[in-house]
Chains A and B, each alone.
Chain A
Amino acid sequence: MSVNRLLRVGTVAVASLGVLALSACGSDPESSANPGSTSSSSGGDCPKGTLNAEGSSAQKNAIEEVISKYNEKCTDVTVNYNPTGSGAGIKQFNASQVDFAGSDSALKTESKDGGEAEAAAAAKRCQGSPALNLPMVIGPVAIAYNVDGLDKLVVDGATAAKIFQGTIKTWNDPAIVKLNPGAKLPTAPIAVFFRSDESGTTENFTKYLEAAGGGAWTGKPAKKWTGTGAGKEKSAGVAEGVKSTKNSITYVEWSYAVDNKLGVAQVDTGAGPVELSAESAGKALAAAKPAGTGSDLALKLDYATKAPGAYPIILVTYEIACSKGLPAEKTALVKSFLTYFASADGQSSLADLKYAPLPEETRTKVDAAIQAIS
């Protein structure tokens, strides 16, 4: 019995020692040891504490990059972002579970099903002050395709609408041939992939199809797909679907198209074919009109824009934050982080990730709105 007891004690001791050993040496990668970036570098701009945020998965890669950069500057701030989706983010924000939310669309001011409108619920969470919609990241949506030997593809609004509606069924359809003179288009049928989950990308893309399709798109813009094709879950799913299927096409965030090495179609807005680039997407945002008033920066995008060199299919993701009403230390944290996010420095890191930085004019407005948070 005593031997048994000894063994028991031994195993328990070994196990707890292992846990202790593990807990003793945990650290952050290259944390404060990072040369040249001590926490005091920006003086009083860096508060201490933890910020929790949740929402849109479309801005996940952008905000993670910005958090990473921000932490080089402010080492004592921890920012967590959970990409659970825009709807979930707004719900958690309104329930005071997170300090700010990420969303693919501005807070809705009208209630949909008789319940409380998002904006009203958010104002309640902010102790009566309105919540701000701060446009922060532009995520261009690419029309991505996989056709052997086709390096360049041009579509216009009507053709895209017909392809995704299912009225154009083959790659050598006269409408596509007309836009791509001389291109080697196969006779094969077009395989369309769409997002099977409810998605802000689908909503923005269908808004474009409705606005620029000239009546060819019959569905209403919605988070749920109503066109033709085969459903795949999330951006990764549709990108993977196109990658593994010849003669297929889909709409997906630009970064996924690039990461999976898919072809990206140029879009003819009526002012000539426009290639997708950070610059061309920024131009479309500059053409957008403000939908809100005062410091509320919600934008109304013009999907049918004919501005030269503007790539029309873009998705603007917002940060939703209280204008007033958070506890003082949280306010300081939110302000500090969002200020960096909207700074030229913060925005400049986004182009590498295939997001488009905010145009300078919008950026200054966003920055002013953040500085007004108290």
Chain B
Amino acid sequence: MTTLAANKPAYDGKTLDLTGKSGARAFKNTLATVLIVLCFLVALVPLLWILWTVISKGYHLLLDPNWWSQSQRGVTVRRVGGGAYHAIMGTLIMALICAAIAVPIAILGAIYLVEYGKGTKAAKVVSFMIDILTGVPSIVAALFIYAVWITVFGFNRVGFAVSLSLVLLMLPVVLRSTEEMLKLVPDELREASYALGVPKWKTILKVVVPTAFGGIITGVMLGLARVMGETAPLLILVGYSKNINLNPFEGFMGALPTMINQDRTELALQPAADRVWAAALTLILLVLLLNLLARVIARFSTIKSK
């Protein structure tokens, strides 16, 4: 103790005084802060610009209840009226069918990768394939389904074919996010469960998946939001219809992206231009709603660390 005390004055020099402000460091700090804030603002500009344009040009049609409950049957580009019901339903139906196929495969695949296949050759191959699938552009997925569904099997263009190609796009997104979530589940939980004599499958079902549930749902919602705005499969695999068609196995089907595409050449005509902006805003709102839902679910279903 005494030796330490004796040494103390040696470190008492002014050079080590960290309480005061050093001009150069304060300057660097301010500079970095300003730069980061500027970058943030620059990144914000396009987002706000897009939102402002779409909202200001599209909101008034959305206030009309007919927009949510009527189709465009019999409404030409020169006439006002009608709604986006057919397109909203088309988008939702195709997205839901896609989710119904993609989500179970993705979640089961992720469980295999994390719980059973860890380190095996098969898991590495699956993981690698998923990486490749992540990089497949939507147009390629659409053409692949076109080749299988129409050229090989000779079926007609229908909404279900769109769902199939969306599966290819949604699968890797959901699988990867589920995998990450399962990896986050601490091994102690699994070990505790095994220690009580619970079999592996029951551990996964009752411990691992519920723990990661919030994250998995978030991944599913984000995957859905991603595929709902896809346009290439819609252009190739189904014709646009202004009429309500709720049967994904027969006939043309409307969807919000193709509704925008349909009238985008007629922007000189006010009724058509209004509808294009309103459809764009509706699509943004749908995707936003899904993202918010994902947030809410994630918030309320996180495991409390207590």
B68 touches A22 (CB 8 A): yes
CA–CA, A11 and B218, complex, Å: 13
Number of chain B residues whose Cβ lies closer than 8 Å to a Cβ of chain A: 46
Closest to B253 in A: A80
Asked if A23 is an interface residue, CB under 8 A from chain B, the answer is yes
Q: A64: which of B77, B86, B89, B293 is its contact (CB, 8 Å)? A: B77
* B-chain residues with CB within 8 Å of residue A65 when the two chains form the complex: 76
* A-chain residues with CB within 8 Å of residue B297 when the two chains form the complex: 7-8, 11
CA–CA, A259 and B243, complex, Å: 26
B82 touches A29 (CB 8 A): yes
B74 touches A82 (CB 8 A): no
Closest to B66 in A: A29
Instruction: Report the minimal beta-carbon distance from B52 to chain A, rounded to whole angstroms.
Output: 22
Closest to A18 in B: B289
Number of chain A residues whose Cβ lies closer than 8 Å to a Cβ of chain B: 43
Instruction: Report the minimal beta-carbon distance from A20 to chain B, rounded to whole angstroms.
Output: 11
A98 touches B74 (CB 8 A): no
Q: Which of A49-57, A217-225, A314-322 is the interface stretch?
A: A49-57
Instruction: Report the minimal beta-carbon distance from A239 to chain B, rounded to whole angstroms.
Output: 7
* A-chain residues with CB within 8 Å of residue B296 when the two chains form the complex: 11
B77 touches A50 (CB 8 A): no
* A-chain residues with CB within 8 Å of residue B293 when the two chains form the complex: 11, 15
Closest to B239 in A: A82
In the complex, chain B residues 257-306 whose Cβ is within 8 Å of any chain A Cβ: 262, 264-269, 293, 296-297, 300-301
Asked if B167 is an interface residue, CB under 8 A from chain A, the answer is no
Which label, helix, strand, loop or mixed, suits the secondary structure of the B interface? loop
B77 touches A61 (CB 8 A): yes
* B-chain residues with CB within 8 Å of residue A353 when the two chains form the complex: 78
* A-chain residues with CB within 8 Å of residue B246 when the two chains form the complex: 23
* A-chain residues with CB within 8 Å of residue B70 when the two chains form the complex: 26-29
* B-chain residues with CB within 8 Å of residue A23 when the two chains form the complex: 89, 246
* A-chain residues with CB within 8 Å of residue B75 when the two chains form the complex: 29, 68
CA–CA, A8 and B300, complex, Å: 8
* A-chain residues with CB within 8 Å of residue B85 when the two chains form the complex: 22, 26-27
Known: A8-B300, A27-B69. A256 touches B74 (CB 8 A): no
Asked if B232 is an interface residue, CB under 8 A from chain A, the answer is no
Instruction: Report the minimal beta-carbon distance from B199 to chain A, rounded to whole angstroms.
Output: 22
Asked if A168 is an interface residue, CB under 8 A from chain B, the answer is no
For B138-162 the 0/1 string (1 means CB < 8 A from A) is 0000000000001000001100000
A28 touches B243 (CB 8 A): yes
Q: B76: which of A11, A19, A68, A260 is its contact (CB, 8 Å)? A: A68
Closest to A14 in B: B293
Known: A11-B296, A26-B85, A80-B239. A4 touches B74 (CB 8 A): no
Asked if A328 is an interface residue, CB under 8 A from chain B, the answer is no
* B-chain residues with CB within 8 Å of residue A80 when the two chains form the complex: 239-243, 251-252
CA–CA, A8 and B294, complex, Å: 11
Known: A11-B296, A52-B252. A26 touches B78 (CB 8 A): no
* B-chain residues with CB within 8 Å of residue A234 when the two chains form the complex: 265
**Chain A to chain B contacts (Cβ below 8 Å), 14 pairs:** A8-B300, A22-B92, A23-B89, A23-B246, A27-B69, A27-B85, A28-B74, A61-B77, A61-B78, A68-B74, A68-B75, A97-B157, A236-B265, A260-B268
Closest 7 pairs between A and B when the two form their complex, measured CB to CB: A28-B73, A68-B74, A236-B265, A26-B85, A80-B241, A259-B268, A7-B300
Name A's B-contacting residues (CB within 8 A): 4, 7-8, 11, 15, 19, 22-23, 25-31, 50, 52, 54, 57, 61, 64-65, 67-68, 71-72, 78, 80, 82-83, 95-98, 234-236, 239-240, 256, 259-260, 353
Name B's A-contacting residues (CB within 8 A): 66, 68-78, 81-83, 85-86, 88-89, 92, 150, 156-157, 213, 239-246, 251-252, 262, 264-269, 293, 296-297, 300-301
